[in-house]
Chains A and B, each alone.
Chain A
Amino acid sequence: GENVEQHPSTLSVQEGDSAVIKCTYSDSASNYFPWYKQELGKGPQLIIDIRSNVGEKKDQRIAVTLNKTAKHFSLHITETQPEDSAVYFCAATPLINTGTASKLTFGTGTRLQVTL
Chain B
Amino acid sequence: NAGVTQTPKFRVLKTGQSMTLLCAQDMNHEYMYWYRQDPGMGLRLIHYSVGEGTTAKGEVPDGYNVSRLKKQNFLLGLESAAPSQTSVYFCASSHLQRTSGTPRETQYFGPGTRLLVL
> Using Cβ atoms and an 8 Å threshold, which residues of chain B touch A104?
43, 45, 107
Residue on B nearest A1 in the bound complex, by CB:
B59
Per-residue CB contact flags for chain A residues 4-48 toward chain B (1 = under 8 Å, else 0) read: 001001000000000000000000000110101000011111100
Could you mark each residue 33-76 of chain A with 1 if its beta carbon is under 8 Å from any beta carbon of chain B, else 0? 01010000111111001011100000000000000000000000
- Which range holds the interface residue count of chain A? 20 to 34
Contacts of A105 in B (CB 8 A): 59
Q: For the complex, give the distance between the alpha carbons of A99 and B104 in Å.
A: 13
Within 8 A of A (CB), among B29-63: 30-31, 33, 40-45, 48-51, 58-59
Within 8 A of A (CB), among B59-115: 59, 90, 92, 94, 96, 98-99, 101-112
By a beta-carbon cutoff of 8 Å, the part of chain A in contact with chain B is 1, 6, 9, 31-32, 34, 36, 41-46, 49, 51-53, 89, 95-97, 99-109
- Residues on B close to A: CB < 8 A? 4, 30-31, 33, 40-45, 48-51, 58-59, 90, 92, 94, 96, 98-99, 101-112
